A and B are shown apart, each in its own frame.
With several copies, the nearest count.
Chain A
Amino acid sequence: MAKVKVYVTLKPSLLDAQGRVVQTALENLGYGNVEDVRIGKYIELEVKENGQTLDTQIEEMCRKLLANPVIENYRFEVTE
């Protein structure tokens, strides 16, 4: 059983409105030293290896479903 961690982030060219709001909120809480906040998704998968290359499979899942390439970037790590 492989444990896969997928990180999906908004493309840098897009304004991360949520990140900006969180940054302001942190500032109000007294953390003026936080200069940038970007908010993305963190997805944990448990995958049973089935002979096929895991990397290719995960890559496909990301492209098709887990991220939308029009607006998002993704990367992943496979751990055991």
Chain B
Amino acid sequence: MLIKEPGSKTVSKNTEPIAPEVYREMGLIDSEYQKIVEVLGRHPTYTEVGMYSVMWSEHCGYKYSRPILRLFKKYKEALEGEGLENAGVIDIGDGYGIVMKMETHNHPSAVEPFQGAATGVGGILRDIFTMGARPIACLNSLRFGPLDDAHNRYLFENVVAGIAHYGNCVGVPTIAGEVVFDDCYSGNCLVNAMSAGIVRIDDIASACAKGVGNSVLYVGSSTGCDGIHGATFASVELGPDSENRRPNVQIGDPFQEKLLIEATIEALKTGFVVGIQDMGAAGITCSTCETSAKAGTGMEIDVLKVPRRQSDMTPYEVMLSESQERMLAIVEKGHEDDVAAVFKKWGLNAVVIGHVTDDGLVHVWEGDQLVAEVPAKSLADDAPTYYLETEEPEYLKEVRCFDLTKIPEPADYNEALEKLLGSPSIASKEWVYRQYDHMVQTNTAILPGADAAALRIRGTKKAIALVCDCNGRYCYLDPFVGAQIAVAEAARNLACVGAKALGVTDCVSFGNPEKPQVFWQFKRAIEGMAEACEAFDTPVISGNVSFYNETPETAIYPTPVVGMLGLIEDADKHCTPEFKREGDVVALLTGRRITKDSESDPGFCAVNDLGGSEYLKVMHNVVAGQPPALDIEAEKRLHTCLIEAISSNLLSSAHDCSDGGLAVALAESSIGGKLGVEASIVADCSASVALFGEAQSRAVISLPPDKLGELGELVEKHAIECTILGKVQGDRFKIDVNGVTVIDREVEQITRVWKNAIPERMEGRA
């Protein structure tokens, strides 16, 4: 206990050392404890160690990932720039900015999928409106083990229901996302929630605790013992009922969040809110020390004033609680009531718990007892940084030299196609997005099911498009190229709806970083992503890192998910993937390396395009080879060409070729449009490669024949190759390769396979 001498500012520090078992349980190592002692010039109190342990964890302090993340130039600026503290902003013109961020809730979701996923959505929304932005979209990127396992089905079912529950209730449309199933995610599901909001650039809220003497206002739900550092169970202060007392999982209340959104936006309009920050991980600790560290101020708070849900909470518990739906606002002195009135109108708590000071210290009082006195900066900015070792993983040599030419052709290409269309990773995700309200707010111009979703921006001619993407298998085979492809594919998806890529948020999940092979994957993936983002001129404005996604049996594939924002200049001129009318010409646009040297021209396709493909996995249960090659310059030309073609109203449809290759892309356009196609491919490779190879930088388009001339000029201008494949017609899905009909099915039949794959697995089981 620290003791304050009556009537003085000095504090006598008669603290005892904390036992190593206790701080180690909290996740601190010996050298970190020593560093705390150095900073404080004494031993910390129990509450203080608790505060350091959460702020210096990887989750809050990025102690392992920070050195690598510096590769993102803009990200660094976003993290450190004033006003951009919680989530980055992208200027879309007309005075508006888009704020976006993505975050994982993998571990909570594995324990309690419904609440874990729901609170993930809640947390990411708070990151958005804490900047003064109104949330306008949610997205999610999910990974599960195969659906033939009951536990994976349970996780999938409840994660989706949890996301739906929270997003639907707060009234933010969930407009896009991705779901991938693979063995490596059994026991390690990934739940990444993303959100985007809109704000007038002039109205961006700050997260700085400026102005000595200003009041610190606690708003929102009351504080309970939920979500406190699971590791602290063993500590001395806890009785036998500890598990009941301090549940590891939090329960969210989207209704409170909805109130918090409206009230926060309204409170900011009073002009009296100097700074505001959500309480996410590390709750009050994080919000108090970060806001004061950023402003170079200090803060004094009294935990007894914090609204509580449980009696007898210790200061430690109050400071570390991760109860949901709470915020900390710094309010101009003398205007506390004006601001509190807004929150109270919405039925929320709003209590002054302290004030801003000038000494750079966070003082935590429990009544007249001082329980913590720590430099704000040391908590917020001085987390120890570690440069972990890297080592190229052994498995790579083996998987890379796999001989793809030995893969036999399938006996029946129709069956191969249906197997791919029925693979849950490729199949229709309607079962998922049906459960999400994707139309509330009445701005959704492109509904889920297209390459990217789009929202028109009222009061302008514009629309924004959003997407998230990552192929973990590619990243497993080559994290550098895989991460680059994630960026390229996201941008391609945007281009296919007519949007130009503007910026990126990321959410990267890996195994245990203390294993050099895992850290190597992490480093290579971030290098790839950083390089690609620079090439596409899409700054990384925010992000999140999740490590330790592994069980003794498996580690996940490196999964660096990219969330990307694009802009459509004229909302009326966007495009969707489904065929629109019979008689349209179907063609393939390919961004190809410009080269005089014909030897290096890869031709229509090459056997290497099967590396890491869905085809290889689904048909042969093989994950090997190298991911398809990516030429970023060629990719960019393709996007420019697509965007120009769409804005000139040339295209009826556009759809990117990705998982499952050309055949799957054509099938999806056909299924969506309920229209058949007759396509012929001429290729200097086997039919399986031509149909299912996953060469990059390609898109399937359809257009009226009379627009071919204009398109020709465009592709010429951008040095894009345009291969005419055939025509939209009838009700059969038919593909010839080198003059031989290899695929011929009724559209209705492949539609059934594609649409029923997930519902059958989820519901059809007797």
Contact = CB atoms under 8 A, between A and B. Distances in A.
Contacts of A68: 112
Interface string B242-265: 001111110101011000000000
Contacts of B247: 11, 13-14, 70-71
Nearest to A27: B766
Contact of A15 (B150, B323, B766): B323
B111 A70 contact: yes
A71 B324 CA distance: 16
B621 interface: no
The residue in A11, A14, A28 that gathers the most chain B C-beta atoms within 10 A of its C-beta is: A14
A71 B225 contact: no
Interface residues of B, number: 24
A1 B293 CA distance: 49
B226 A13 contact: yes
Contacts of A15: 221, 224, 226, 251, 253, 309, 323-324
Contacts of B224: 13-15
A70 B112 contact: yes
B244 A71 contact: no
A28 B111 CA distance: 22
Interface in B258-313: 309-310
Contacts of A10: 251
A11 B244 contact: yes
B206 interface: no
Interface residues of A, number: 13
Nearest to A21: B255
B249 A71 contact: yes
Interface in A3-32: 10-15, 17, 21, 24, 28
A69 to B, nearest CB: 10
A44 B245 CA distance: 20
Contacts of A12: 244
Contacts of B310: 13
Given A21-B255, A71-B115, A13 B245 contact: yes
B406 interface: no
Contacts of A24: 766
B458 interface: no
Contacts of B251: 10, 14-15, 17, 71
B228 to A, nearest CB: 11
A17 B256 contact: yes
A15 B118 CA distance: 14
Nearest to B347: A24
Given A28-B765, A70-B111, A71-B115, A17 B255 contact: yes
B112 A13 contact: no
Interface of A: 10-15, 17, 21, 24, 28, 68, 70-71
Given A15-B324, A68-B112, 18 more contacts: A11-B247, A12-B244, A13-B224, A13-B225, A13-B226, A13-B244, A13-B310, A14-B224, A14-B247, A15-B221, A15-B251, A15-B253, A21-B255, A24-B766, A28-B765, A71-B112, A71-B115, A71-B247
The 7 closest A-B pairs by CB, nearest first: A17-B253, A70-B112, A14-B251, A15-B251, A13-B245, A13-B247, A13-B225
